[in-house]
């Protein structure tokens, strides 16, 4: 698409979490106006109480830099401003003479409230405001049960969504864009102070390339080489079996439609089991946004009210164990490996996410909100909808958490999905010399075996902070009153 040189109108294109030029509905709509001013507004207050965490801020910095580079390559540039969103938009409208504002919709409760207020204020001034669907296949309010209620169970939701997937029509990135007036001021990305002052994020760059170009490369690599066998390999954390697209999706560097098109290119019009399973995983993402939209209280409180009475331990009682979990020092290797992978790379394998979440909420009886907050700050793909669904599912208090009292056995999970200890040795080098039979539970090794592996328990690696069998029994006992209340 090329912009129309004959149309004199000017539009503001407000980038938020749609940091791409390909298949961007708001961009394409704004281009019909003729002149176009791409804008990013750094307004952390509007995301309260969930402003971007430290890892996500690192990604945002680099993604915005990539977006600005892509705009400049097409003759435009990104205008960056800081401040309250409505005030910044009003100032830009006055500076540019723009007659319309375009954006792609966000679905978090704070974002919906912000956008509603801004749209009403601008329309009251006679300005045209246009919002588009760009992040989801269907809007959260479009799918309902036969009784007209929102879905709370994934399988019927996915059945309904699968029957109403939109037509595949991926719009290419524009070849050229209208220039932005040189007199229009922009703040520098460095002025946003998104990067950490300490170099704790240095390991991220070895694993990730933020921006649309990096997203497209990862997508093509996945569908060409890892989609075959996905259904089986995705559960094994030592294997490159998953897509790794979640950060790119969260920041809108890819659209779900682009992913569908890429999968269809490889799998054909009748996808096999691997392609279907992968698309189903994207369906969980849609389900998470569906739930957040209809139940906006869930980032802080359980979906099912009866779980509000669950007997979590007191903060003063669990503070030391929470720190051990955060630092990967629980003495349970699969849990510690996952937490160290998270800290080093800003990401964690999905199977391991379920294991560490089950351990925190059920073996340690620490409230799921503590885990959700930690993931929010340390995950590059921290997404309020996905984070909330995942943690409530793990704690048993959310949608589709049946049986809600399920407790993952971390030893069995480790032995089943990392039998040779490849994942454990990658992130826990102090255990590297233990044989495969012992690396999942070092505390079961004899003194001679520990000496042969040059491992001193409680010095080089901690002893378990909790007895798995006893803590399982404690958790099941805690769920008994809830089970009785729900029956």
Whether 383 has a binding-site annotation, put simply, is yes
For 275, the token pair is 């392609």
For 224, the token pair is 């060409």
Active-site residues, by number, are 281, 284, 312, 350, 368, 391
The DSSP code sequence of 262-327 is HHHHHH-SS--HHHHHHHHHHHHHHHHHHHHHH-TTTTTS-SSGGGGG--PPPHHHHHHHHHHHHH
SS (H, E, C) 180-229: CCCCCCCCCCHHHCCCCCCCCCHHHHHCCCCCHHHHHHHHHHHHHHHCCC
Beta bridge partners of 35: 10
Strand boundaries in 3-91, DSSP class E: 10-15, 35-42, 79-82
Helix (H) or strand (E) holding 128: strand 128-132
161-194 burial, b for 16+ CB within 10 Å, e for fewer? beeeeeeeeebebbeebbebeeeeeeeebeebeb
Whether 404 has a binding-site annotation, put simply, is no
Whether 382 has a binding-site annotation, put simply, is yes
Q: Are 365 and 276 in contact (CB under 8 A)?
A: no
Instruction: Give φ, ψ of 308 to 5 degrees.
Output: -60, -20
CA dihedral 41, 46, 52, 56 (to 10 degrees): -30
Rg of the Cα atoms in the chain: 24
Whether 135 has a binding-site annotation, put simply, is no
Q: Are 409 and 469 in contact (CB under 8 A)?
A: no
For 249, the token pair is 């999706």
Cα gap 152→406, rounded to integer Å: 18
Cα gap 25→139, rounded to integer Å: 14
Whether 293 has a binding-site annotation, put simply, is no
Cα gap 213→253, rounded to integer Å: 8
Which is nearest to 297 in space by CA: 109, 139, 145, 154?
109
Handedness of CA 189, 62, 55, 251 (dihedral sign): positive
For 61, the token pair is 């910095």
Query: How many residues can be counted in the chain?
Result: 487
Q: Within 10 Å of residue 12's Cβ, how many Cβ atoms?
A: 24
Could you tell me which residues are annotated as the binding site? 230, 278, 381-383
Could you tell me which residues are annotated as the binding site for FAD? 230, 278, 381-383
């Amino acid at each position: 698409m090329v912009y129309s040189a004959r149309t004199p109108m000017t539009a503001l294109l407000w980038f938020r979490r749609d940091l791409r030029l390909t298949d961007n509905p708001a961009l394409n709509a704004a281009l019909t106006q003729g002149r176009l001013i791409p804008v990013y507004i750094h307004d952390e207050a509007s995301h309260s109480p969930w402003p971007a965490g430290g890892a996500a801020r690192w990604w945002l910095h680099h993604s915005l830099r990539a977006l600005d580079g892509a705009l400049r390559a097409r003759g435009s540039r990104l205008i960056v401003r800081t401040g309250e969103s409505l005030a910044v938009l009003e100032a830009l409208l006055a500076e540019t003479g723009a007659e319309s504002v375009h954006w792609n919709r966000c679905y978090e409760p704070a974002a919906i409230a912000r956008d509603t207020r801004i749209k009403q204020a601008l329309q009251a001034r006679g300005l045209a405001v246009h919002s588009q669907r760009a992040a989801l296949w269907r809007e959260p309010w479009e799918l309902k049960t036969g009784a007209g209620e929102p879905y709370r169970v994934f399988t019927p939701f996915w059945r309904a969504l699968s029957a109403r997937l939109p037509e595949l029509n991926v719009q290419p990135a524009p070849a050229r864009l209208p220039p932005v007036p040189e007199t229009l001021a922009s703040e520098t990305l460095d002025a946003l102070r998104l990067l950490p002052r300490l170099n704790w994020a240095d390991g991220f760059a070895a694993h990730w390339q933020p921006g649309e170009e990096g997203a497209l490369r990862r997508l093509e690599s996945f569908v060409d080489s890892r989609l075959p066998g996905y259904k089986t390999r995705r559960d094994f954390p030592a294997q490159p079996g998953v897509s790794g697209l979640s950060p790119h999706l969260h920041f809108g560097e890819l659209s779900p439609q682009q992913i569908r098109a890429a999968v269809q290119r490889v799998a054909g019009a009748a996808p096999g089991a691997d392609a279907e399973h992968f698309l189903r995983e994207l369906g969980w993402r849609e389900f998470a946004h569906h739930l957040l939209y209809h139940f906006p209280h869930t980032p802080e409180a359980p979906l099912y009210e009866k779980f509000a009475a669950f007997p979590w331990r007191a903060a003063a009682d669990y503070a030391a164990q929470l720190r051990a979990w955060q630092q990967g020092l629980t003495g349970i290797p699969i849990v510690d490996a996952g937490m160290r992978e998270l800290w080093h790379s800003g990401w964690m394998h999905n199977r391991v996410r379920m294991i560490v979440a089950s351990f925190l909420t059920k073996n340690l009886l620490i409230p799921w909100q503590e885990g959700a907050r930690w993931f929010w700050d340390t995950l590059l793909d921290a997404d309020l909808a996905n984070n909330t669904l995942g943690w409530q599912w793990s704690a048993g208090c959310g949608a589709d958490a049946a049986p809600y009292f399920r407790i993952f056995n971390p030893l069995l999970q480790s032995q089943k999905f990392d039998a040779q200890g490849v994942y454990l040795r990658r992130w826990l080098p102090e255990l590297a010399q233990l044989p495969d039979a012992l690396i999942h539970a070092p505390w079961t090794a004899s003194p001679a075996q520990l000496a042969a592996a040059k491992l001193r328990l409680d010095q080089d690696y901690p002893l378990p902070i909790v007895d798995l069998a006893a803590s399982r029994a404690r958790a099941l006992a805690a769920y008994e009153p809830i089970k009785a209340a729900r029956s």
